[in-house]
Amino acid sequence: MACNSTYADACKYPLLNASNASDPGATPLSAPLRISLAVLMLLMIVVGCLGNTVVCIIVYQRPAMRSAINLLLASLAFSDIMLSLCCMPFTAITLITVRWNFGDHFCRLSATLYWFFVLEGVTILLIISVDRFLIIVQRQDKLNPRRAKAIIGLSWALSFCISAPLLTGGTFVEVPARAPQCVLGYTEFPADRAYVATLVVTMFLVPFGVMLYTYACILNTVRRNAVRVHNQSESLDLRHLTRAGLRRLQRQQQLNVDLIFKTKAFTTILILFVGFSLCWLPHSIYSLLSVFSRRFYYSPSFYTTSACILWLSYLKSVFNPIVYCWRIKKFREACIELLPQTFQILPKVPERIQRRIQPSTVYVCNENQSAV
């Protein structure tokens, strides 16, 4: 039957309104595996929301922590919170019921929100990487809190503009018959394929390439600085120090402290980049294959592949707080402070007593050393 204007969308996307049960190619996972993934996803929601909320609370409650880098980390944490709340619960429910019970319109909305929050998180991580590159390699600290707020606003607007076509129906988003979530499905329309290619390039390939280059340059710079500091330290003769030599030694010690701090902060950001790559490289390849390969999209194993890759992509929102807790002492201390007293195993030591026990807790914290 020929397509007219009334049925144009139905002809263009013949499976959009299809029932899950009517798709013979949809091969869901076994019940125990589906339930296990759903339970893990619910646990990820709790950990991701609580961990990222702590980051936002730290930055909001403590004016000294509202540096440029911390504002960026808070925006990254907020996008992960929204991803955990707006998308993950519906995927977990669909894994258990093997049906999408929330309607076609919400299908498009959930897909739009998914890509929206993912794009925002990737953009913030890219901005942080470029900022570290400028500070360590170019020795240019141009990002202040005011500029960071403006950049964050622009990043949210840009992410929305890129993901908005998913909501308007310009691309093929299928109600989950072949996946536990609304995903980009196979299409032969050049415009839709071009959009999906642009989406994947914007979300992963370009940020990955830029971040890989910046981190390579940072690693090279840190290595050269470490060698230079080591050589200068060996050249100092402590037995014949003059006043100028003493000042030189003090400057050298300050360089050592600054180098150690920058290396530690950069290592944390590098770990976030590795987590981003491991979680999103499979999803990027999966999205391209789903749209461009009919054989892949209609294969019997597509549901299993979709469930595993979607679960891996959601793991990114849980990965960041775990890294913060592992790498950053301030984050661990803030988590303990925010716990109710009934859940705290050890009694809280007053700050005055802490200073007596460990005088090193009193230190000067400048703009570059106030990262969460």
Alpha helices by DSSP H, listed for 137-205, are 145-168, 190-200
CATH code at 27-211+279-339+364-369:
1.20.1070.10
φ and ψ at 183, to 5 degrees? -125, 165
* Per-residue pLDDT at 155: 94
- Residue 227's CB is within 10 A of a number of other CB atoms, namely 10
* Per-residue pLDDT at 250: 55
* Per-residue pLDDT at 9: 42
* Per-residue pLDDT at 22: 41
* Per-residue pLDDT at 248: 58
* Per-residue pLDDT at 3: 42
In this prediction the pTM is 0.78
d(C-alpha 75, C-alpha 153), whole Å: 10
For the stretch 79-104, pLDDT in tens is 999 999 999 999 999 888 888 888 88
Q: Are the C-beta atoms of residues 301 and 290 closer than 8 Å to each other?
A: no
φ and ψ at 181, to 5 degrees? -155, 155
d(C-alpha 144, C-alpha 148), whole Å: 6
- Please state the domain extents for the chain: 27-211+279-339+364-369
d(C-alpha 336, C-alpha 349), whole Å: 12
Q: Are the C-beta atoms of residues 49 and 81 closer than 8 Å to each other?
A: yes
Helix (H, G, I), strand (E, B) or coil at 33: helix
* Per-residue pLDDT at 191: 86
Q: Which residues of the chain have pLDDT under 50?
A: 1-22, 24-25, 238-241, 342-343, 346, 355-370
